[in-house]
Structure formats: C-alpha cells, structure tokens
Structure 1
Amino acid sequence: MYLDEVKTILIDVLSLGEAGQRLQSDSPLLGSLPELDSMAVVSLVGALEDHFGIAIDDDDLSASTFETLGSLADFVARKSAG
C-alpha cells in the first residue's frame, strides 16, 4: 500500500516522469538519484507529511531512510502506524 503512494509522491516531487515509473522497492535513492538533493529531501518530507498526515522530526531521518524506495516506504508505514 505505502510503496505505490510513496513512489507516486517521489515521482511528483522530483519530477522524475517516466523514469520514475521504473523504480522498484529495491531501487536505490540517496546517491543514485541526482534529483534527490538536500532541498528535494525537505520537499519530499513535507509532501509525505501532508499526504499521510504524519509528523517527521529531523531526528527521525537518516541516510538509511532514503537508501531505497522500500526503506522510505517502510519508514512512512512505521510513522503512520504510530
């Protein structure tokens, strides 16, 4: 459930277009997508907070959160659960 929604938000925020459609759960993000720079991370976090109704603190974020699309979706799932 979360994977597809997170993928859609990622594609929209980073303006990945068709290239974003090829992203899979194990697709690397941070360091592999040039579009995912520090400013894009801020925009992406804001979009995830708005869409899922969650609050993400700076302390919640680490490089491992953005390692793959799957790790980002898992992070959102955990934040949404509680």
Structure 2
Amino acid sequence: MHEGAEIVEQTVRSVLHDLLGISQERLALFDDTTPLFGALPELDSMAVAGVLTELEDRLGIIIEDDDVDGEIFETLGNLIRFARDKALG
C-alpha cells in the first residue's frame, strides 16, 4: 500500500475512534466490507457531518456538499477510498 494511502486509512480509523468512541479493539476487526451508516449506532446523521469535518481538518482537504452521497458511508472501504481520493487526488 502506498504510504499516503496508509496514512489516510489510519486517519479515517482515528476519526471513527475519536468522534464515535469506537474502541481500537473493535476498529481492528473492521475491514473494507464493514458496514457503517445504518449498522453502527454511533454513526447517525449528525455524526456523519462531524466525521466529514474532522476528515477535512486532519487531511487538509475540502469536501463539497456535491461530493457527498449515501455510498460514502455504506462501508469502511468506501469511506477510506473517498478520503484517499480527496487527499491524494
């Protein structure tokens, strides 16, 4: 894995830990296919906005409203790919 991509994945996992209170042990079990929105009680519509804002801050990216759709939060893999595409172009 590209070093930048690894940093993005670590950042996404860190945001889920810090904002949603998901334990490191539980996060370690998450893979690309782990469902997020609708499956994690911690991730409600208010939390989605916080996660996106925190990703912007930590990765130095801008996320436009038009960039966001329901697929981004379907799985951890989708969220990581979205963040990676934004951060690394």
Fold shared per TM-score above 0.5: yes
CA shift digits 1:18-59 (9 cap, x unpaired)? 433321121110110011111101110111000000000111
SS of residue in 2 equivalent to 1:56 = coil
Structure 1, unmatched stretches of 5+, are none
What's the TM-score, normalizing by structure 2?
Answer: 0.83
Long gaps (5+) in structure 2 = 1-5
Distance 2:17 2:11 in 1: 10
User: Is the aligned partner of 1:28 residue 2:2?
Assistant: no
The RMSD of aligned alpha carbons is: 1.2
Equivalent of 1:7 in 13, 17, 22 = 13
Q: Give % identity.
A: 43
- The 5 Å alignment of 1:1-82 reads 1=6, 2-17=8-23, 18-82=25-89
Q: Which has the larger radius of gyration?
A: 2
TM-score (ref. length: structure 1)? 0.90
Q: How many residues matched?
A: 82
